[in-house]
Chain A
Amino acid sequence: MRPYFILVRRELGWYAGALSSYVTVAAAQFLLGLGFISLLEAFNGEALNAPLTEVFYDTMYFWLVLLLAPPVITMRLFAQERATGTFETLMTAPVGDAAVVLAKFTAALVFYLVTWAPLLLCLGVVRQYIPEHHPLEWRPVASTLLGIALLGGVYVALGCLASALTRSQILAAVLALALGVTLFLVSFLRASVGAGTDWSAAVVRHVSLLSHMEDFVRGVVDTRPLVFHLSLTAWLVFLTVKVVESRRWK
């Protein structure tokens, strides 16, 4: 475990020291801020029957941050190491491939969660201006953050895989974004399958990220999306390990 923690610290150290990390967080804060401003302008003086977090997830800014941040965070993980030639050094170190992949995944996920920290700042600011019946209850906020973390796990793992597949950071980011957006767009098939009872409709409903987030923002924690996201994340991380391993026998 020690090499794993050393590698996690090394990766987090890189994020903490890189200007691009701060730019990413600042951009996320700006987008989340835009989302909150648009909500405040739309509902100022109006009555809301749902907590603000429940409305916010339905804005494009929420999904922009969710879809754009992981490729930006993960694109360098393996691609940069390959491009700069440090990948072989890392791979010859006394540490297993799985530990390397897991460490990079963990660090990227932690940084992804840091990217979402401004959401709490935005909620705190909005809370100051709503005197009664705070539209923020900690439990739905907690389940929303759980949803964000679970979705982040999938998208960060997808980014790791994309980064492991290529030397080019740009290509890695584009590949991760394309795969991520495809997974997201599957949610929109919900409308076409409607109340269908066949297996394809069941699959679409099961993998619909929008439905999952709908539940999480309402404060409903369902074990199905929990299992779906965790298992998909594990599967993607496993694929990444195999891609990294492949250099040994290619």
Chain B
Amino acid sequence: MNPPAPDEPSFSPARRLRIAGQVLLAVGALSAIVVMVNYLAARHYRRLHWTVDTRFELSRVTREVLARQSNEVAVTVLFDRDHVLFPSVYGLLTEYAYACPRLKLEHVDYRRDPGRAELLAQRHQLPSGEADLVIFTSGPRTRIVRAAELSEYDLGPLWSGEGAVRRSGFKGEALFTAALAAVQQPGGQSAAFLRGHGEHDPENDDKLTGYSRLAGLLRQKGLTVQPLELVGTNDVPPDCALLIVAGPRSPWMPAELDKLQRYLQRGGRLLALLSFYRAGHTRTGLEDFLLSWGVQVSDTFVFDPAHTIRGNDLILSNLAAHPITSPLFDRRLHLILARAVAPRAGPGTPPEVRAQVLFSTSVQGYTASEITPAGLPRVVPGRDVRGAVPLAVAVERGGIAGLGADLAAARLVVVGESLFLGNELIVSAANLDFASLAVNWLLDRPHDLAGLAARPLHEYRLTLTPAQMTRVRWLLLGALPGMILAAGGLVWWWRRA
């Protein structure tokens, strides 16, 4: 047998073609298997949480709400990627999206994609520059959760002088689940704006006195906004989750006050914004009524010369530790011609009423019983006071202190000013966030979302002195790579030797 010539191929072209075909077939078959395995894996999967605090694990209540989702819900995370809460927000919502295929999650970073952010702002009528929020949309219904609402803070270290404020809890799951439930349920709770005494109009777009932006905020929270008059046989409707008295200018009738009293007695929630300036320096009757709820509304104007822009307005940073104001600890509120509002038990105040100041002026503040037509203060010695003047009070009756409100717990927020939530000033300083947090607190009924308390949030604080930083830098960039290189050099030398 003659050996093959050296330049002759080992295989005939036909055999090579057959082998190539077999290889292609094998590769194609394995590719198909890989695609099929991934297809099946995408449909039948499990997510295991290897975390101590299971911060991204959904509770039973949330899973039930997600299981009930019958319509598609678009969830847009309009957040700066570098925001401290972004990992928690996006991580948690990712779990929502995995648990519910009808939920379409999208992240829009307004710093990297300003055009898309602007479109969203226009579509949802967001005030200019407002960002870091989550928008839930299902059909015509929209609900917005803002970053300021998402955290609970521990102000203890700040008050005791032992350290800075700590973010202690993340309320994402409670707020997101409530938002999902709200966009799915047509005609949920309603908020009523009282009318008949010259109050601010929730449909009015006027810059100074219109309240259309506050009404928009309430709609974003899933509330139906409606006007309400308490004249004649009208009463507060049973589905009214929140009653808003926005800057009344004329006196209330006793029958109206009785209806208000009955509403609060059965666990109503009231946001009272009482401007002495708008009322033309007259009393409306609500002042005496609120005394029975532990709130004293004074007939004085408040000034703070060290914290003002125009003289008659107030830039407030003296915020108390309360669920409404704690998240705003490093922010400011902006009020104009406010009146003093303080907790004070009146003769008819039940002992179970708990009233707490929300914010005050600085210690340089003072009250003025009269003002000039130009809005300048005229202090009356003996009647007016100096010091930190309280301007807003939160009242709770029923429930257990610190554990949230029960079904019959009445809650009130009384502020001695109403223009600060008007269309112009609501976007000034942290006024919008204050309104949002106040409404959250007023609407808080834990039985609605049992088990969705704020999750403890671990806060990791890195505190390295310059010397320690230098040591770490030297260790990570010099010593450790150097040691590895030295080991390599030793091995190289040993092998050569």
Residue B37 lies at the interface, judged by CB distance under 8 Å to chain A: yes
Given A19-B491, A49-B87, A33 contacting B37 (CB threshold 8 A): no
Measured between beta carbons, the chain A residues less than 8 angstroms from B460 are 47-52, 130, 133-135
- In contact, B472 and A37 (Cβ under 8 angstroms): yes
Given A49-B85, A139-B51, A234-B34, A129 contacting B472 (CB threshold 8 A): yes
CA distance A30 to B481 in the complex (A): 6
Q: Give A42-76 interface residues, CB cut-off 8 Å to B.
A: 43-52, 54-55
CA distance A215 to B463 in the complex (A): 28
- In contact, A21 and B488 (Cβ under 8 angstroms): yes
CA distance A242 to B472 in the complex (A): 48
Measured between beta carbons, the chain B residues less than 8 angstroms from A48 are 84, 459-462
Shortest C-beta distance, B34 to chain A (Å), equals: 5
Measured between beta carbons, the chain A residues less than 8 angstroms from B30 are 234-235, 238
CA distance A48 to B459 in the complex (A): 6
Residue B310 lies at the interface, judged by CB distance under 8 Å to chain A: no
Compute the total of residue contacts between A and B using a CB distance below 8 Å.
Answer: 199
Shortest C-beta distance, A63 to chain B (Å), equals: 15
CA distance A52 to B475 in the complex (A): 18
Shortest C-beta distance, A110 to chain B (Å), equals: 17
- In contact, A195 and B74 (Cβ under 8 angstroms): yes
The listed residue (B27, B31, B105, B480) touching A29 by CB distance below 8 A is B480
Using C-beta atoms within 8 Å of the partner chain, give the interface range for chain A: 35 or more
Residue B259 lies at the interface, judged by CB distance under 8 Å to chain A: no
Shortest C-beta distance, B373 to chain A (Å), equals: 49
**What is the total number of residues of chain B having a CB less than 8 Å from a CB of chain A?**
69
Shortest C-beta distance, A114 to chain B (Å), equals: 10
Shortest C-beta distance, A109 to chain B (Å), equals: 19
Residue A220 lies at the interface, judged by CB distance under 8 Å to chain B: yes
Specify the chain A residue showing the minimal Cβ separation from B112: A191
- In contact, A26 and B42 (Cβ under 8 angstroms): no
Q: Give A128-149 interface residues, CB cut-off 8 Å to B.
A: 129-135, 137, 139-140, 142-143
Residue A153 lies at the interface, judged by CB distance under 8 Å to chain B: no
Measured between beta carbons, the chain B residues less than 8 angstroms from A32 are 476
Residue A219 lies at the interface, judged by CB distance under 8 Å to chain B: yes
CA distance A45 to B461 in the complex (A): 7
CA distance A122 to B45 in the complex (A): 33
Shortest C-beta distance, B33 to chain A (Å), equals: 8
**Which of A87-95, A98-106, A221-229 forms contacts with chain B?**
A221-229
Residue A171 lies at the interface, judged by CB distance under 8 Å to chain B: no
Measured between beta carbons, the chain B residues less than 8 angstroms from A46 are 461-462
Measured between beta carbons, the chain B residues less than 8 angstroms from A134 are 460
- In contact, B38 and A118 (Cβ under 8 angstroms): no
Measured between beta carbons, the chain B residues less than 8 angstroms from A156 are none
Residue A23 lies at the interface, judged by CB distance under 8 Å to chain B: yes
Known A135-B460, A139-B50; further 5 A-B contacts with Cβ < 8 A? A49-B459, A118-B480, A140-B50, A194-B106, A245-B23
Q: List 25 A-B contacts (CB under 8 A).
A: A17-B491, A17-B495, A19-B488, A29-B484, A32-B476, A33-B477, A33-B480, A36-B472, A47-B84, A49-B87, A121-B480, A125-B475, A125-B476, A130-B462, A132-B461, A139-B52, A215-B94, A218-B56, A218-B91, A220-B95, A227-B37, A231-B34, A231-B38, A235-B31, A238-B27
